[in-house]
Amino acid sequence: MKFDSSKVYDIREVSSIREILESSVALYPDNTAFLRKKDGAIEEISYTRMYNETVALATYFHMIGLGGKKIAVMGHNSYEWSITYLAVTCGTGVIVPFDKELKGEEIRYLAADSDIAAIVFSKDVEDKLSGIDRSVIRLPMENFDEYFEKGDYQLSLGDTAYRDYTFDPDAMSVLIYTSGTTGLAKGVMLSHTNIAFDVYSTLRRIRVYETDRTLSILPMHHTYQCMAGFLVFIYAGASIAFIDSIRHLQQDMITYQPTVFIAVPLVLESFLKAIQKKYAKIFAGNAVFKTQQALSSLFKLAPGISKGIFTSVTKAFGGKMRAILCGAASLSPEIYRAYESFGLRVYVGYGLTETAPVSIVHNDFYTSPNDVGYPIDGVEAMLVNPNEDGVGELILRGKNVMLGYYNNPTETEKVLKDGWFYTGDLARINKNGSFSITGRIKSMIVIQSGKKIFPEELEYYLEQSPLIKESLVFGHEAEDGSVQVAASIFPDFEKLEAEMGKHRPDPDSEEYNAAVMEAITKLVRDVNRRVPHYKCIRKIIIKKTEFEKTSTRKIKRIASNYSEE
């Protein structure tokens, strides 16, 4: 079924992050904006308090000479992180979110490249900041009460720095560095217009209510979480809860009872495996699970009935979950259908930091397990040079497209041409007009015949096996100079050993390694039977540990992930 692009919600238009903040405070002054655990109890922070503390913090920043400057923020998801972002973008200068997982050398490089004047940080990352130039002001999050107090005092004296702060909505207000090793990360320049447009245009087709609540687990420095799991909820007058730690996620789900969950595929896969493991422990559990799924599919248009069938599952999510937004990587149709069978609406989307980030996504009027939906309202998408299979490079145009790469005109010119952003991603337009992402141009394998192979297709087939946890397919140069398809595979050793039975060899022995390779080789042969001869995997590498990943749990396509430890 083709989606009717004229279907949109009539919602208030916003032109800046400041307008998102101030209009929501006016509309929802007493609503709860944030929930967090403090001194053993759950503290609720209203929109009015959030706004007052944002203004006080921005005023304090001006007091210490940071007006118009770049300010970095680094740390775990928190209320302090959130209002730092708001105080800087709405009333101080340019925010520069840093990934808290970065190493000291990477932080030193980014701090120098971005020319930050200050960094706001949580205590757990303090040791990583030693390499930053001493002229950069350090502002620990643990001292926020002091900053608020000083800012409030300044306001009482008539300070109007926040109110008088003006900015060009089309100038850089957010500087975000893409994933990359030291010296390779690119700074993406985003404006108020980019981000406000993305929030507004997404919500024109996906309804978020003021009664909704999300549980913040993905890193907020990442544009996807910052937009979908933070600014969207602030716009809607909804609430955001912060987890204690990832280890307590299950309990936090029950405590905070989120209605909307922002996730990446790996998180959803992990949840589903945990659910299936619990079913496996009960008598005929696997059969029960499949029967419940079959019953649920009969009531596809009645999520309430599906939730009733899977009561134990929905309780594990807190009992009030209604929707899941999944991005940052592709979600398999099987995982999509599983969550749909639980009575949850699943929205899968596509975007990049360079597009603020959402560009194409499912919506309230269309979802499917087989694609990423349609462009958000006001965004154009098309393919360049599609091949005989209809696959070409995806290019995008809209107000969400970045200003460019910071201090890097050469890289900017490569991707911004005549108003279009060249994503470097390969896509296909389906018969109903929806889009499917097929892979990255840089990861595409081209063999001697000129045939092109998309690693993501083979990785999908490999990971259908429960014996394979993760895989990475790439082009390998053989001894004769030809390019062959290779696969680096991280098996599920626990399941492999269970299949070996009581005669399992010692894990440190060559016999064990040979048995693992034999089992994986058999699975690879099964995959090879499903694809044309030129796509067949010729070389197998067994990984003993997980692949190195980005902060959003995407596997990095780097040399160390292609080799054995």
Task: Please count the CA atoms within 13 angstroms of the CA of 526 that sit on its side-chain side.
Answer: 13
Element housing 293 (H / E): helix 285-298
Mean pLDDT of 19-32: 98
Could you tell me if 381 and 359 are in contact, meaning their C-beta atoms sit under 8 angstroms apart?
A: yes
Mean pLDDT of 314-326: 92
Its sign, for the CA torsion 403, 405, 408, 412, is negative
Task: Please count the CA atoms within 13 angstroms of the CA of 339 that sit on its side-chain side.
Answer: 31
| 3-class DSSP assignment, residue 519 | helix
Confidence of residue 474 (pLDDT cuts 50, 70, 90): confident
| 3-class DSSP assignment, residue 281 | coil
Please give the pLDDT value at position 565.
57
| Domain ranges for the chain | 445-562
Average pLDDT, the chain: 90
Please give the pLDDT value at position 301.
52
- Can you give the C-alpha Rg of the chain in angstroms? 25
Percent of the chain with pLDDT over 90: 64
Which tens digit of pLDDT belongs to each residue from 442-466?
Answer: 887 878 766 778 788 888 889 889 8
Could you tell me if 553 and 267 are in contact, meaning their C-beta atoms sit under 8 angstroms apart?
A: yes
Closest CA relative to residue 85, chosen from 163, 169, 170, 176:
176
CA-CA distance, 365 to 372, in Å (whole number)?
13
Which tens digit of pLDDT belongs to each residue from 39-64?
Answer: 889 999 999 999 999 999 999 999 99
The CA-CA-CA angle for residues 244, 246, 249, to 5°, reads: 75
Give the C-alpha distances (Å, rounded to integers) separating 456 from 352, 399, 439, 459. 18, 30, 6, 5
CA-CA distance, 361 to 351, in Å (whole number)?
8
- Mean pLDDT is lowest, of 2-11, 395-404, 553-562, for 553-562
Element housing 410 (H / E): helix 409-415
Structure tokens, 126: 């303090």
Higher pLDDT, 85 or 554: 85
Structure tokens, 262: 């922002």
Mean pLDDT of 123-130: 94
Structure tokens, 122: 């949580």
Residue 216 clears pLDDT 60, i.e. is over it: yes
Residue 293 clears pLDDT 80, i.e. is over it: no
Mean pLDDT of 351-360: 96
Mean pLDDT of 14-28: 98
Its sign, for the CA torsion 351, 352, 358, 360, is negative
CA-CA distance, 313 to 416, in Å (whole number)?
45
Segments in 488-554 forming alpha helices (H): 493-500, 510-528
Confidence of residue 250 (pLDDT cuts 50, 70, 90): confident
Residue 180 clears pLDDT 70, i.e. is over it: no
- Mean pLDDT is lowest, of 86-90, 453-457, 549-553, for 549-553
Please give the pLDDT value at position 183.
45
Residue 167 clears pLDDT 90, i.e. is over it: yes
DSSP 319-339: S---EEEE-SS---HHHHHHH
Task: Print the SS3 string covering 340-358.
Answer: HHCCCEEEEEEECHHHCCE
Please give the pLDDT value at position 309.
75
Please give the pLDDT value at position 181.
34
Say how many residues make up the chain.
Answer: 565
Please give the pLDDT value at position 163.
96
Confidence of residue 506 (pLDDT cuts 50, 70, 90): confident
Confidence of residue 298 (pLDDT cuts 50, 70, 90): low
- Which CATH architecture describes the domain 445-562? 2-Layer Sandwich (3.30)
Percent of the chain with pLDDT over 70: 95
Element housing 262 (H / E): strand 260-263
DSSP 229-290: IIIHHHHHT-EEEE-S-GGGHHHHHHHH--SEEEE-HHHHHHHHHHHHHHHHTSTTHHHHHH
Compute φ and ψ for 409, nearest 5 degrees.
-65, -30
CA-CA distance, 71 to 87, in Å (whole number)?
10
Please give the pLDDT value at position 4.
86
Mean pLDDT of 263-269: 87
Please give the pLDDT value at position 484.
87
Please give the pLDDT value at position 182.
37
CA-CA distance, 233 to 250, in Å (whole number)?
22
pTM exceeds 0.75, yes or no: yes
Please give the pLDDT value at position 526.
92
Confidence of residue 1 (pLDDT cuts 50, 70, 90): low
Strands 260-263 and 323-326: parallel
Give the C-alpha distances (Å, rounded to integers) separating 421 from 99, 393, 424. 25, 11, 9
Residue 300 clears pLDDT 80, i.e. is over it: no
